[in-house]
Structure formats: structure tokens, C-alpha cells
Chains A and B, each alone.
Chain A
Amino acid sequence: MSAPAAELQNVSLRLGGISVLEEVSLRIEAGDYLALLGPNGGGKSTLLKVLLGLLTPDEGSVRVFGQSPRAARGRVGYVPQSFRFDRDFPIRVLDVVLMGRVGKLKRGTVADADREIARAALARVEMAELGTRPIGALSGGQLQRVWIARALAQQPELLLLDEPTSSLDERVERSVWELFAELSQEMAVVVVSHDIGAISRHVRGVACLNRRLHSHPTRELTSEMLEATYGCPVDLLAHGHPHRVLHAHDES
């Protein structure tokens, strides 16, 4: 039996004196495709940062591929939700994607193989022809796809995506969800979202996080689970297929 992709046991974390995670336990298997839901400030991004070794929990243990998160970094891909990004930075799209390779370069040099990996990653997000564009000339949706390509260039075995579809239009969003489903055949995938309506029918597991984690082995969402997470009653509609989930306020 190989080690799970990631395992958290009773993880608690306080940031600036405020409790963000409380006794969170979660096991992500190598083939999992997990949606992590929850309200803003529920600790979703924090949980990803714990898995990445960017934050160290106050209590509990974290293992990624059986190692410490820092030791496992080469195997984990990351798409941040948003970060301080400077549109004036003089760099081309392909060179941004190549940053996914930066920890694995031999003597600091980008090899042809690295370039091939980066080009393939760009092609997978349907941006193959934009590699030579300055990064500052891209739209918000194109940028988000560049961050996804950059994570793919890491050639991860576990891919962590933090709100990866928030600035995509509907058509692109659909194709990106298809891409995630495809990727989940090759690696473990965890998608964070605050929007329960955005969860694709492809997701194979759902966990709800609001400081505490309420996970569910299948992709079935129960209203108890959502209520426990969001702290208010939520109706589930069209449960079954195609697994669309809507807020109570949207209907009836």
C-alpha cells in the first residue's frame, strides 16, 4: 500500500491569535479528486498552505506523500487564488510557465526538455500561441490559465487549486473543469471554492471547511453537511445527476 497523497491529523492553526483550523483530519488518496468548499474565511486557502509547507500548524501532523510538506514540494503543484502580481514585470508568458521548473533546473539553466514541458502545459490550457506575449498584456481569464499552466509545468502528483475558475467566462470555465477532470486521472487534485454552485459533476469527493472539516466520502452533499459548514440552512436541488447545488435563496 503506497502512502496517501496527503494526510492531515488533528491539525489546528491560529493566525494572528484567531483560530483558522480546528482539529482538521483529512486523507487524500493518490487518485482522489476532491472539492474543498466553505465560506470566505473558512480556512480553505490556509489548509492548502499547510499542505504546501508555507504554514506550519500549531498542533497535529501533516504528511505529503509520506514526507514533510517541505520535503514533498517537488511533487505538489499549486495554483494560488490571487497574489501580489505586477503587470509591469517585463516577462513573457512562456517564461512565467517555466517558473514551474525553477526548483528542478540543472545548474540554473532551462533545458530543451523544460521548455517542452512548459509549452505542453500552455497547450493544455489552450494558450499555446500566447507564449511570447508579455504577461502584462493578458486578460484576467488568460492570466488564470497561465497560473494553471505554471502549476502543470511542475509535473505534480498532487495538484492544489485555489479558486481556479473565479475570473473565467462560462465557456472557458467549462473547458477548465474538463481539464481538471482529465488531470485527475493522472494525479490527485484538490479544488478549493467558496461557490458551491461551481462544483463540477466530475468531482469524486467533497469536504466542507469552516474551521472544522466535514468530509464526505462520495460527492453527495447533504444539507446537514452544508448547514454545519455555512451555519445556515441550505437546500440541495437537482441532487443526483447532474449534481447541481443551489442556495435556498435561489428558489422556492
Chain B
Amino acid sequence: MLEALTEPFFQRVLLAGLLASVAAGVIGTYVVVRRIASLAGGLSHAAFGGVGLGYWAGFPPIAGAAGFALVASLVVGLAERRVRSGLDTLVALVWSVGMALGIVFVALAPGYTPDLTSYLFGSLLFVPWEYVAVAAAVDAVIVAAVLRYHRVFEAVCFDEEFAEVAGVPAERVFLGLLALAALAIVTLIRVVGVILAIALLTIPPAAARPWVSSLGAMMAASTAICAASTLGGLLLSWSLAEHAGLSIPPGPLIILLAAAGYAASHVVAALRGSGGPASRPS
């Protein structure tokens, strides 16, 4: 099945997947340690509203997705402290309103919308070069921001109140982090789609957690796990088609492989009795 690697189209697909893995591993680490997985899920579903708007208004749906995810991150981040609704309620709002708007826009859009499902569930095999370029640009922004603001992000995720007291504008930093999460979601839409994007933001960092004791190490390990799952899912999809005549898209296979990695990681960690939640002092 390794002959797939020599195919130019497969190389493009793999590159898109690896670029998405960097965004997922780095930002997913913050999502997991700050415990905002549901918020990330809300942002990715809200992005579907932008996809629909793109179809209706005639601009690239991926740009609409980025815009909607960014606006949703700002709305939730600002409303959390100003509106008397819990974070989970606000997440449910942007999650469902984004999807609802997407459906309305798609219904209004003229003609047939052929590749709608590619945004819902991903379609890595048909990823265009333009999308690879977008993912590379998003990665560059994320990596640059994290290199510059790593200490500040870490402090705000760990103890927001103390970070504020120590002189960090904690709310603005948190909004910035949510904006980066919105961008990371954009790189994941083609890989697994808006519905499953949350999987790659949470499963690889959670799998890495028992083996790391710093955010930097968690980011590196998460990226590696996500990249390995992506490569594995692509090869599995390819070989199932070649040898078994089964047409299964790589996206869900990537997620299932990552989940298997999560289970294996935590089982091994528990058996070794080291790292992770099991090692707490009594």
C-alpha cells in the first residue's frame, strides 16, 4: 500500500493532512487543557453558516467558514462574561444558529450544491492546491503566535485570575486563543469536516497527555499522533479501495485510528502506573 506515496495527488492530500495536524496538535493542546472542547465544537459547527453563505453569495465557502468561526469565537468569548447564560448554553447557541444559517443559505443558493457534504464530513482526497496554501498560511499564523505568546497563553489557561493580576490582559488573550482555534478549524474542514473537526482537536492531545509534562511536549506529541493517524487513515482508505473494493473516505478512518491511539495510550499508561491522572498523590 506504500506505492500510494509516490502518487502526486496522494502527496498533495498527505501534505494537506500534515498541515492540518500541526494546527490541530498545537491548538488542540490548549483546547484540552483549558477544557473548551465543546466550545471548539461550537465554533466548527458555526463555520457551516459561512460555507452556506459562500454558496449563496458566490465566494469561496472556506472563506465564509473562516469568517463565521472567527465571529462565533468573538461572540462566545465576549458574551461569556457579559450575558447571564452559562458557557455551555452560549456554545449550544452558536453551534445551532451557525448550522441553521448554513442550511438557510444553501436553500437560497441557486442551483445544485454538489460538494456540500465535503464541508460537512471532509473530502481530503479531492483537496485542491489552494486549500493546501490556506492551511500552510494558517499554520504559519498559529506557530508564530504561539512562539510569541506561549507563556501568556499558558498562564491564562492555567489560572486566568492570577494572569490578570500579574499584568496580562486575560480576556483579550483568551479571545486571541479562540480566534486561533477558529483558524485551526478551517484547516480541519477538508480533512474531517465541520461535524468531526472537534475530534482532531481533542483526541490527539488527550492521547498525548499521560506522557508529557509541559504544553510544548504535548503540542509536539499531539501533532505527531494526529499526523500518524492522518497517514494511517489515508493509506487504509487507499488500500481498502485497491484490495477490497471498499470506498471508505479517509476522514472517519483517521478519527478511528486516533481514538484507537487514545485508548492504547491510556491503557498502557494505566498499566505502567505512571503519568496522567493515575499518578496523583493521595
Instruction: Give the interface of A toward B (CB within 8 A).
Output: 52, 54, 73-74, 76, 78, 80, 83, 85-92, 95-96, 98-105, 107-110, 134, 136-139, 150, 154
Contacts and interface: CB of A to CB of B under 8 A. Distances in A.
A73 B167 contact: yes
A138 B281 CA distance: 7
B152 A102 contact: yes
Contact of B166 (A73, A83, A87, A108): A73
A73 B168 CA distance: 10
Given A90-B33, A102-B168, A108-B151, A85 B163 contact: no
Query: Which interface residue of A52, A90, A103, A137 has the most chain B CB atoms within 10 A?
Result: A90
Given A102-B151, A102-B168, A108-B149, A78 B281 contact: no
A102 B167 contact: yes
Query: Which interface residue of B35, B162, B212 has the most chain A CB atoms within 10 A?
Result: B162
B218 interface: yes
B212 A90 contact: yes
B134 interface: no
A52 B213 contact: no
11 contacts: A52-B165, A54-B161, A73-B166, A78-B165, A90-B212, A91-B154, A96-B158, A102-B168, A104-B167, A107-B148, A150-B162
Interface in B134-183: 147-152, 154-155, 157-159, 161-168
A103 B33 CA distance: 21
Interface in B228-282: 276-277, 279-281
Given A54-B164, A102-B151, A136-B279, A85 B159 contact: yes
A90 B213 contact: yes
A164 to B, nearest CB: 14
B276 to A, nearest CB: 7
Contact of B162 (A83, A88, A108): A83
